[in-house]
Structure 1
């Protein structure tokens, strides 16, 4: 039987997760309202799965209980889903997903392929290595021509990468892309 720890600040959500888990053959062994309290519980109890509702919780649990699978509930945009996966989440349940998808994520510990099916199929995933490089160059204030010269790629390739970055980060321009990248921890700004 799959053991589950739930970290969520709303009692109603914790109760709903407990009920859905019970129906699917998983057992909620503990609950917490705060990320740090939940991470400490995860470190002590070593549950199979930890259900969380924030990137902060994903990071805290990944650090304290690296062997537990982390399921993030409530992530809506592709950038947030990508950041969750990069931060240590094993699965992400969006607002459009229901109890079937949630149970698949929680109970498929032995079957990681199923976890991939839970995330939105239209999600393009995290930025590629090259897209990260282009975004970092943007954050450093470089123009498209300067980025092309710095990375030894054509101007057209830079523009293609920018289009992909805008789509994945749900940005409409360079400033929004850099701000999203900063918020998600994808770029560093030198001081």
Structure 2
């Protein structure tokens, strides 16, 4: 069973998510009601995925994502929220979130997202993808302007990148392209280096800015 931590300031919401995930054979190993408590629970429980709300009193979701990055705690975070504002979505992704879903998802969609992130993939709710892409294309952030120039990708690397953008895990990419999973991992590492990206999500964002992905 995949081990997850649920971070939300509403106890009823946490209970509901725990109940649903239990049906899907996903183990909730910890809960927290704000970012500071989340950091303690995450370090103690060592989950494989974190489900994180963004709007919380005191220490919110963006603060939590940045703290995880600063502390080099490399656990995939799935944002699960009611807010689909373009700026909020991009802030969360740039802060390190590897997935973004709205709370109106079905149990099947939520379970699939948890499995996707646990397998190393990324996932963004289809309902906000188009708006997010338009926002990304409107212009890079100062940090992205200062990023190193993008090196040219091979055709195989472009294929891997396209599947990364669609949320495929390394294992799924290997199956689609008939490659060994280790080979895919090597391609992903090379893509990150060539794009000057810190992670898979940032690589997709940079590729969209550069027109490599459309």
Q: Structure 1-normalised TM-score?
A: 0.60
Deviation at 1:52, TM superposition (A): 1.1
Counterpart Cα distance in 2 of 1:48 and 1:59: 18
- Corresponding position of 2:73: 66
- Corresponding position of 1:127: 136
Distance 1:107 1:43, change over 3 A: same
Is 1:30 matched with 2:26? no
Counterpart Cα distance in 2 of 1:14 and 1:91: 18
8 Å contact kept, 1:9–1:34: yes
Counterpart Cα distance in 1 of 2:109 and 2:120: 14
Aligned positions of 1:1-150 closer than 5 A? 1-54=1-54, 55-64=62-71, 66-74=73-81, 75-108=83-116, 109-110=118-119, 112=121, 115-116=123-124, 120-125=128-133, 127=136, 130-132=139-141
Deviation at 1:58, TM superposition (A): 2.5
Distance 1:42 1:116, change over 3 A: same
Deviation at 1:85, TM superposition (A): 0.9
Counterpart Cα distance in 2 of 1:65 and 1:31: 21
Deviation at 1:105, TM superposition (A): 1.6
Counterpart Cα distance in 2 of 1:91 and 1:46: 19
Deviation at 1:15, TM superposition (A): 0.5
Counterpart Cα distance in 1 of 2:6 and 2:104: 20
- How many residue pairs get aligned? The number is 133
Counterpart Cα distance in 2 of 1:98 and 1:36: 29
Please provide the CA RMSD for this pair. Answer: 2.6
Distance 1:117 1:46, change over 3 A: same
Residues 73-122 of structure 1 deviation map (CA, whole Å, 9 limit, x = unaligned)? 11311221111111111111124433332222212221515x24667332
Structure 1 segments of 4+ aligned residues over 4 angstroms from their partners: 116-119
Residues 35-94 of structure 1 deviation map (CA, whole Å, 9 limit, x = unaligned)? 111112212322101111122233233444632110111131122111111111111112
8 Å contact kept, 1:50–1:71: yes
Structure 2 gaps, min length 5:
55-61, 146-214
8 Å contact kept, 1:39–1:65: no
Counterpart Cα distance in 1 of 2:87 and 2:12: 27
